[in-house]
Amino acid sequence: MEQRIDTRGLSCPLPVVAARKKLLGMKNGVLEVLVDTGTSKDNIVRMVTNMGWKIEVKEEGEEYLLTISK
């Protein structure tokens, strides 16, 4: 089942913490994370890769839609 969290406006490290918390509760599936800073995007990409999940980054204007899957 696809899940989605919106971390826009949250300052570092809250977006990556929120994404990690969600992923730790999922064995597999798809998680979409909406972020609005390059820092949050970079942090989540690194964490997700370290955790062994796949991530796809789509830039939407000044925001990023991160699609995380396993």
Partner 1 sequence: MLKEFFSSRKHVIFTGIFIGVSAAFLQKLGNPSNMGICVACMERDIAGALGLHRAEVVQYIRPEIIGFVLGSLIAALIFKEFKARSGSNPLIRFVLGFFAMIGALVFLGCPWRTLLRLAGGDGNALFGLAGLVVGIWIGIFFIKSGYNLGRNQRTNPIVGWVMPVVMVGLFLLLIFRPQLPSGAIFFSSKGPGAQHAPIFIALIIALAIGFFAQRTRFCTVAAVRDVILIKDTYLFTGVISLLLAAFVSNLILKQFHPGFQGQPIAHSYQLWNFGGMVLAGLAFTLAGGCPGRQLFLSGEGDADAAIFVLGMIAGAGFSHNFSTASSPQGPGLWGPASVIVGLIICLIIGFSMSDLRQKRKETE
Binding site for partner 1 (CB under 8 A): 8-14, 16-17, 20, 36-39, 42-43, 46-47, 50, 62
CB of 1 or CB of 7, closer to partner 1: 7
Compare residues 32 and 36 and give the one whose CB is closer to partner 1.
Answer: 36
Closer by beta carbon to partner 1, 1 or else 52: 52
Q: Which residues 6+ apart lie within 8 Å of 60 measured at CB? A: none
C-alpha span between 64 and 27 (Å, rounded): 24
Strands 2-6 and 30-35: parallel
Instruction: Report the nearest approach of partner 1 to the CB of residue 10 (Å).
Output: 6
